[in-house]
């Protein structure tokens, strides 16, 4: 079995570091900073949503926007991810997967360098290493396109019928369905404002990472 995860909001709680970067950017721009709660609600929507949450209006000029985005990412990288931690229950789940002989991997829209920095800090020797990592800049297409998930399957040598995806955004479920994977919503994640995860087409909604063991997901063999 190959269990693939989204990163931010599913495997790790990175909102405190992302919020710190937004606070620093707002200080540079002379804008009031968003609250931690406001930041957390849009983490899964990506950099543009985070910047819009902080600055309210974004530059219309593509070059100006890209410069702003790069500055935000540089401020985020400078935090060294000091506040980012595993979501509660994730280390235990990874240990169980390793003991079972199951593989796990990551498919995220986060850039590769930032993804690796998070993992270098959090992956302890007692935790199994991911079989595959596909980041937001690994391919030309990102989630909700299924291409990153299909690429992860190829890298891991896994079949969709023996694989599943866990994420906290509708885009994750869309990508999983497009790749013919079983899809599970991480209700502990960053679900955004007024979410309706029951309408996302998932196979199940999980309250806690270890619930993955209780819904039969790891024993299923669904030829889709």
Q: Which residue is catalytic, options 6, 103, 168, 203?
A: 6
Task: Give dist(CA 40, CA 5) in Å, integer.
Answer: 19
DSSP codes joined into one string, 95-136: HHHHHHT-EEEEE-SS-HHHHHHHHHHH--TTSPPPSEEE-T
Count CB-CB contacts under 10 A for residue 2: 23
Contact 130, 2 (CB under 8 A): no
- In three-state secondary structure terms, 18 is helix
Give the single-character DSSP code of 8: B
The pairing of beta strand 85-86 with beta strand 12-13: antiparallel
The pairing of beta strand 103-107 with beta strand 132-134: parallel
Strand partners, 204: 184
211 annotated active-site: no
- List, by residue number, the catalytic residues: 6
């Amino acid at each position: 079995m190959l269990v693939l995860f989204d990163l931010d909001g599913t495997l790790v709680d990175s909102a405190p570091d992302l919020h710190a970067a937004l606070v620093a950017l707002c200080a540079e721009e002379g804008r009031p900073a968003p609250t931690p709660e406001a930041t957390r609600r849009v983490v899964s929507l990506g950099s543009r949503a985070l910047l819009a949450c902080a600055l309210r209006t974004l530059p219309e000029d593509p070059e100006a926007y890209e410069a702003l985005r790069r500055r935000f990412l540089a401020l985020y990288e400078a935090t060294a991810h000091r506040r980012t931690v595993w979501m509660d229950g994730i280390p235990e789940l990874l240990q169980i997967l390793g003991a079972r002989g199951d593989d796990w991997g990551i498919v995220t829209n986060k850039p590769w360098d930032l993804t690796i920095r998070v993992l270098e800090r959090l992956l302890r020797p007692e935790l199994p290493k991911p079989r595959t990592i596909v980041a937001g800049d690994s391919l030309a297409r990102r989630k909700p396109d299924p291409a990153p998930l299909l690429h992860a399957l190829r890298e891991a040598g896994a079949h969709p019928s023996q694989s599943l995806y866990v994420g906290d955004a509708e885009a994750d479920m869309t990508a999983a369905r497009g790749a013919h994977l079983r899809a599970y919503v991480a209700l502990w994640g960053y679900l955004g404002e007024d979410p309706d995860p029951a309408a996302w087409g998932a196979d199940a909604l999980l309250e806690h990472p270890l619930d993955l063991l209780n819904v039969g997901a790891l024993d299923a063999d669904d030829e889709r």
